[in-house]
Amino acid sequence: MPASPSSPLHLAVALDGAGWHPAAWRAPQARPRDLLTAGYWADLVTEAERGLLDFVTFEDALGLQSSRFTEPDDRTDQVRGRLDAVLIAARVAPLTHHIGLVPTVVTTHTEPFHISKAIATLDYVSTGRAGLRVQVSARQSEAAHFGRRTFPPLRIEDLDTPEIRELTAELFEEAADHVEAVRRLWDSWEDDAEIRDTSTGRFVDRDKLHHVDFEGRHFSVKGPSITPRPPQGQPVVTALAHQSVPFQLVGRSTDIGYVTPHDPGQARSISDEIRAAQAAAGRTDEPLHIFGDLVVFLDDDEAAAADRKARLDDLAGYPYTSDAKIFTGSPGQLADLLLRWQQAGLSGFRLRPGVVGHDLPAITRGLVPELQRRGAFRREYEADTLRGLLGLSRPANRYATV
């Protein structure tokens, strides 16, 4: 489902602690004492819903945050520690009404059965607004928490070696199997499996619960789930992808892929590669959104935004860099960029606020009105489910007999 120039944009925000800049917790608008409170996360998601955003994602991992790519660090001047993403989403769900809630899960060390029922439960708690972001991990320190597998030492300079390329392919193949098992478990109860007839004493029609019988290299799943089919049928599956192997996961298994181009040419090239992977997986007729990721520092003018990032860099002790493009400028300038990149095949954007306390309101109260003035973003929520907001129909159950 490529975006057309006239299609309204989809917008999401990626929430991570005090913000994506490592010194964000020291900014005047930050609330470092509140990071591990339910109220903090409720306030952020409520603000995102005020801006009519499609959904928020919640970052998570199985190890402490680190300034190093592959291993823990010993820094004590940056935020360390976080709450569980699925539980945050479940906590804020009853406090919101329309916005989608998409926690991160690490497929490498988490059983598909556990994730399927957790996200199905979130879909019930939110009345149809759940999704998940699948993520892999090859960190030795995280594998050591579980003791079931080991990984070789991982350095950035080794990423293109045959050994690491093979490991990467294996992890993403496992993630694809994980998603397939989760999706089958969501379908393991037919929609009308619960009879709930007090007069006959029949609560469940056992013939409408199905074994999924999934067999993969790393796990086998019998099923059925213990949780009935989610309200959306299939909650929205998303993944971040930077190169060809994860592009294949996006094309094969997800409803949304987050990508990190730095210009429209890269956006077009990445979109074309994902569409090719989608076609190779036999999914050409299925909707698939491609969202561009951007780290944003928004102020009234470009100089103010650049100065604010520079002050944060000074506090951190080094210039902040990211896998995604870092944007410093005004809401109007960001709107120009988003609409230009949309024409390169992106249907939406996931914005990473540099400082949540400053840049999230700048998105909801600055960027969104600017896009609305240009006729490029909704003025009210048009659906009550996340699939509905994204234009995705509720899929039929694969096990139901017609």
All structural domains of the chain with their residue ranges: 10-153+232-389
Give pLDDT, residue 150: 80
Give the residue from 58, 64, 50 showing the smallest Cα distance to 17. Answer: 58
pLDDT of residue 302: 97
Segment 251-298, tens digit of pLDDT: 999 999 999 999 999 999 999 999 999 999 999 999 999 999 999 999
What is the average pLDDT score of the chain? Answer: 94
What pLDDT is stored for residue 141 in this prediction?
83
Strands 131-135 and 194-197: unpaired
Q: Which residue has the higher pLDDT, 9 or 73?
A: 9
CA distance 368 to 357: 17
CATH of 10-153+232-389, one of 3.20.20.30, 3.50.50.60, 1.10.3720.10, 3.10.580.10: 3.20.20.30
pLDDT number for residue 6:
58
Q: How confident is the model at residue 85 (pLDDT cuts 50, 70, 90)?
A: very high
How long, in residues, is the chain? 402
Cβ atoms of 44 and 29 within 8 Å: the answer is no
Amino acid found at 313:
D
- CB 347: neighbour CB atoms within 10 A? 23
Helices 244-253 and 162-186 sit at what angle, rounded to 10 degrees?
Answer: 10
Q: Does residue 26 contact residue 362 with C-beta atoms inside 8 Å?
A: no
Taking only the tens place, the pLDDT of each residue in 150-196 is 887 777 767 778 887 888 899 999 999 999 999 999 999 999 999 99
pLDDT at position 5 is 47
H-helix segments, 202-342? 244-253, 264-280, 302-316, 331-342
Give, as one character, the DSSP assignment of residue 366.
Answer: I
Average pLDDT over residues 354-381: 98
Q: Tokens standing for 209?
A: 């619960």
Integer CA distances (angstroms), 115 to 151, 179, 401, in order: 23, 10, 26
What tens digit of pLDDT does each residue of 320-364 get? 999 999 999 999 999 999 999 999 999 999 999 999 999 999 999
Please determine, for residue 24, whether its predicted confidence score (pLDDT) is greater than 60. yes
Q: Which residues of 292-305 are buried (b: 16+ CB within 10 A; e: fewer)?
A: bbbbbbbbeeeeeb
Instruction: State the Cα–Cα distance between residues 70 and 336, nearest whole angstrom.
Output: 35
Of all residues in the chain, the percent with pLDDT exceeding 70 is: 98
Is the four-CA dihedral 377, 380, 383, 384 of positive or negative sign?
A: positive
How many separate helices (H) and strands (E) can be counted in the chain? 12, 13
CA distances from 239 to 252, 261, 351 (A): 11, 15, 15
Give the burial class of 342: count Cβ atoms within 10 A of its Cβ; 0-12 exposed, 13-18 middle, 19 or more buried: buried
Written as one letter, the residue type at 49 is E
Single pTM value for the model: 0.95
Continuous H helices in 26-106: 38-50, 85-92
Q: How far is CA 188 from CA 150, 230, 233, 279, 402, in A?
A: 32, 10, 10, 27, 15
By three-state DSSP, how is residue 48 classified? helix
From 70, 58, 67, select the one nearest 23 (Cα to Cα): 67
User: Half-sphere exposure of 135 toward its Cβ, with a 13 Å CA cutoff?
Assistant: 19
Confidence of residue 4 (pLDDT cuts 50, 70, 90): very low
d(CA 212, CA 204): 18
Confidence of residue 371 (pLDDT cuts 50, 70, 90): very high
pLDDT band at 402 (very low <50, low <70, confident <90, very high): low
In terms of Cα–Cα distance, which of 249, 121, 131, 233 is closest to 180? 249
Residues ≥6 apart with Cβ < 8 Å to 147 = none
